[in-house]
Structure 1
Amino acid sequence: MIKRKGLAAIVIAMSFMGAPALKADTLADALSATYNNSGLLEQNRALLRAADEGVAQSVAATLPVINWSISADRTRSTSPMTGSMVTTDSVLARITGDLTLFDFGVNALGIDAQKEVVLGTRQALRGVEQDVLLRAVQAYMNVRSSNEFVQLRQNNMRLITQEFRAAQDRFEVGEVTRTDVALAEARLAGARSELASAQGDLAQAIEEYVVAVGRGPGGPRAVSPAPVSRSIADAKAFAVRNHPAILEAQHSVSAAELNIMRARAATRPRVSLNGFVSTDEDSNESAQLGVSIGGPIYQGGLLLSQLRQVQANRDQARSALHLTTLAVEQQVGVAFASLQVAQASRQASEQQIRAARVAFEGVREEATLGSRTTLDVLNAEQELLDAETNRIAAQSSEVIASYALLAAMGLLTVDHLNLPVQQYDPAEYYNLVKDAPSALSSQGAALDRVLEAIGKE
């Protein structure tokens, strides 16, 4: 049994030494790899690019619209003079153009509303970035604590094996009874079971790490909690001003307000410039240029319904902003409390370990003198094991809680953590498409190169 467990431990240890990570990982290494490998970030960057195109489409509505057409007709009619059938063929080529001159701000308001959507989507991307990085922190700490649990269980099994052998030796010379040997044997079997469970937990933690980080783990190093020195009141105040979920909700409210103004403007007249140039099969050319003005009179209540709809959307966005603010403040409070609990637990477990180690060494020494039983030694060893287990769990919880507090405040980003990665610039694509460039322009060519590079990633 011991050989099989040792083999399992070797297999898990080898998984730590996978080809992508031959050296020990720092938390910064893991977070950097997460940022570079995250498919979820790539997905939301694509959503942001789609939102950027909304601005380009709104801008396009303010530019000239030019279309071409070619029509061919054959007409057969009866000549009133001769009574015979006459066939007439005609071909007409036409280029038409239309340009909005004045629309009471409908198109301009549409552009501004789409810009708010873009800004909100950028904040949503920041929120996803925080979620991805926090998951990586949790995965990193779970691998580290699971690895320490395995080592602790291995040490525990070695100690209990020694106690079991000592009990057997003392039984053979008549110092203890068969009960003492059975107790030690039962504890040894329990230790083997706990070791197998810890190894299974480590294997699961490694799988989660691979998904969260994008590659296998190296040997995780010791990690200190993230520096968080604010009081809970300061943390909440900062979060309300800077958390991406709140900023996203604020931009949604602004977009809704602009859409209300746009819906009202849509009920007013529109002035446009239009014209055409045409030629037929006989090279007869014609052209026309004119100005037209018009607006809605009656559309079955459609425009008023659309106005009420966007007003309802505005009310929903305001309520969402209020609820999001409450949720963020709650997250800060929970994270702050979790951090304080973890800190207190770690400090208490360290004191417990010191006392339990003194007690264990004393009980074991007294047992060699015959004043303590095997059960006393096993219980003392279990007390020490529990204390060390609590410390490992508390250390992991403290680190995770500190980074969760950063996330609740809106600070768990590669920029704030100063990670050594090339950061994604959300404005780069926007600047290329915001003016609705044509395919033949220099901006259009640059955009093609960007899209080609994105497609290769």
Structure 2
Amino acid sequence: MTVRRLLSASVALFALAAPVSAYAGTLREALLKAYQTNPTLTGARAGQRATDENVPIQKSAGRPNIVIGGDYNEAILRSNSFQARRSVSADGTVSVPVYSGGAVRNGVKAAKRRVEAGQANLRGTEASMFSQVVAAYMDVIRDSAIVSLNKSNVRALDVNLQATNDRFEVGDLTRTDIAQSESRLALARSDLQQAEANLIASRENYIALVGEAPVDLETPPALPGLPASPDAAVSVALTDNPDILAAKKDREAALYDVRVSRASRLPTLSAFAQGSYSDNLGSLPNTIPGVVNQSVHQAAVGASLSIPLYQGGRPSALIRQSQALESQAIEREIAVERGVIAQARAAYASWQASLQTIESSRKAVDATALSLEGVRAENTVGSRTILDILNAEQEALISKVELVSAERNAYVAGFTLLAAMGHAEAEDLALEGGALYDPMVNYNRVKNKLSDWDADPRPQPVSTRTVDSPAQNANVDAAGAQ
């Protein structure tokens, strides 16, 4: 079993581990919804179908060409009475390309390579969209938690201010203590408003990607199949990353383009058959001596050879242009490879750093909770001030916010790492809800089409609109779906 299949099987466990519910409350359901209705994905699929058509277009240049025509003439002015008053004619030509210098053959090969490149790009679009959905999903979870933490902090500071006022009334504290408590409460309310705004923005972004509002999002399962080292991640990415594969196929297509350009200097040969028929419809006078037939028909077959001798330098310019584009494709392939390597290494480093931050933040949460409890106890005996309590509460809030942020960052970085490795596409995630989109189905359908009258139905939208979705709020209890 290949490394890709091993990792794909592992990632499939990630999707299957998520429970199914009636709403888009799990990450798998959010990914499936985006896969089916996101306009970026559905538009990319339509673009790939357009790319598929380049193969039959190129093939058509090597197929027979049949043309028929006809004329009907009615004379409204004649110089003499011996001319026909009316006539009808028809002609037809069948032309069959025999040799085109390899232009057709190489043009078809280039088109096929670009189909393969487009299919790889479609995989990359899926992975990119899924990464955005995962980030949006985790943003909603993170920002919901931060709103809850800030609300709890506001409530705690409000209670603290009331207690401070009570103790001031009995002469136990000063106005400075009240001012400090009021200042922290005002700042906490400001932070809460900002956190609520961030949550609304995250929910709206989720709607833009998934197509519906987030409802009671569940904590996603752990991501399996992650590499043990950055070198392992790069090794898999160099083999499976769709962007690298697409760049490779584009480079191969550019090589065939050079061969097509070279064919413009070579002879072309075609065979033809043609026939014509004309009839004066009995309008020639019978008095004309020697006129026996009112109609004429003829047919001929032959071959046409064209040998270009001089074309003003156009062929050489086309060749040089194609060679330059091939050179550009070669450099682009290297650039894409560089970017994928950097992305894989950076994602691995970010994932590892976030895991370490989670561990540190959990310790900090426990430590600040213990510290806050101790400071409050010491304050009751007069060894700690109100400011000490406020600082301890602030430290506790910061550590909790850092923890939920680190958990979000670790998950997103892990999924980004899978995407860089080429293992974050629909097939890898084992999305359920119907057959997955297979670009080969359309390609196999159209690659050998011969009819000039075969068209698809009028395009209809596949993605869903969100204009009717309600404006989101920061209600963490109702998930902002009201």
| Aligned counterpart, 2:480 | none
> How far did 1:224 drift?
4.3
Q: Is the 8 A contact 1:57 1:436 kept in 2?
A: no
Choose 85-94 or 241-250, whichever is displaced more: 85-94
Cα shift at 1:86: 4.4
Residues 121-163 of structure 1: CA deviation (Å, up to 9, x unaligned) = 1111111111111111111111111110110011111111121
Identity of aligned residues (%): 33
Task: Note the residue ranges of structure 2 that are not aligned, 5 or more in a row.
Answer: 1-20, 280-293, 463-482
- Mapped partners of 1:439, 1:62: distance in 2: 15
Counterpart check, 1:211 vs 2:208: yes
- Does the 8 Å contact 1:249/1:321 carry over to 2? yes
Q: How does 1:358-369 map to 2 (within 5 A)?
A: 358-369=370-381
> For the residues of structure 2 that align with 1:331 and 1:253, how far apart are their CA atoms?
22
* Counterpart amino acid of residue 193 in structure 1: S
Deviation at 1:88, TM superposition (A): 5.3
The correspondence for 2:264, drawn from 260, 266, 270, is 266
- More relative contact order, 1 or 2 (CA 8 Å, 6+ apart): 2
Q: Distance in 1 between matches of 2:83 and 2:52?
A: 57
Q: Residue 300 in 1 paired to residue 312 in 2?
A: yes
State how far apart, in whole Å, the 2-side matches of 1:374 and 1:189 are. Answer: 16
- Report the counterpart of residue 241 of structure 1 in structure 2: 239
Q: Is the 8 A contact 2:276 2:299 kept in 1?
A: yes
Equivalent residue runs for 1:328-343 within 5 Å: 328-343=340-355
1:414 is displaced (CA, Å) by 1.0
Q: Secondary structure at the match of 2:87?
A: strand
Amino acid at match of 1:387: S
Q: Which amino acid aligns with 2:64?
A: P
CA positional deviation for 1:455 = 2.8
Alpha-carbon distance in structure 2 between the residues aligned to 1:86 and 1:205: 84
**Residues 70 and 88, structure 2, Cα contact 8 Å, conserved in 1:** yes
Q: Is the 8 A contact 2:52 2:115 kept in 1?
A: yes
Equivalent-residue separation in structure 2 for 1:24 and 1:315 (angstroms): 47
Greater shift in the superposed pair: 430-439 or 253-262: 430-439
Give the alignment of 1:122-271 within 5 angstroms.
122-227=119-224, 228-271=226-269
Alpha-carbon shift at residue 78 of structure 1 (Å): 5.2
Counterpart residue type for residue 116 of structure 1: R
1:266 deviates by: 3.0
The 8 Å contact of residues 225 and 402 in structure 1, kept in 2 or not, is answered as: no
Is 1:63 the counterpart of 2:63 in the alignment? yes
**Secondary structure of 1:72's aligned partner:** strand
User: Residues 23 and 433 of structure 1: is their aligned pair in 2 closer, same or farther, counting only changes over 3 Å?
Assistant: closer
- How many Å separate the matches in 2 of 1:39 and 1:261? 37
**1:116 matches 2:113:** yes
Q: After superposition, what is the alpha-carbon deviation per residue over 1:197-233, rounded to whole angstroms, capped at 9, x for unaligned?
A: 1111111111111111111111221134522133111
Q: Does 1:386 align with 2:398?
A: yes
The 1:436–1:30 alpha-carbon spacing in structure 2 relative to 1, beyond 3 Å, is: same
Distance 1:290 1:88 in 2: 34
Matching residue of 1:423: 436
1:44 corresponding residue in structure 2: 44
Q: Which runs of 5+ in 1 are unaligned?
A: 1-20
Cα deviation for residue 57 of structure 1 reads: 0.8
Label 1:456 to 1:202 Cα distance change in 2 as closer, same or farther (>3 A). closer
* Alignment partner of 1:377 is 2:389: yes
1:279 matched to which residue of 2?
Answer: 277
- The 1-side partners of 2:159 and 2:40 are apart by 50
SS of match in other structure, 2:98: strand
Q: Structure 1 residue 85: deviation in Å? A: 8.0
Q: Distance in 1 between matches of 2:209 and 2:357?
A: 27
Secondary structure in structure 2 of the residue aligned to 1:94: strand
Change (3 A) 1:279 1:230: farther
- The answer (yes or no) to whether the contact 1:59–1:436 under 8 Å persists in 2 is no
Q: 1:22 to 1:241 in 2, by over 3 A?
A: closer
Using structure 2 for the length normalisation, give the TM-score: 0.84
Q: Could you say which residue in structure 1 is the equivalent of 2:25?
A: 25
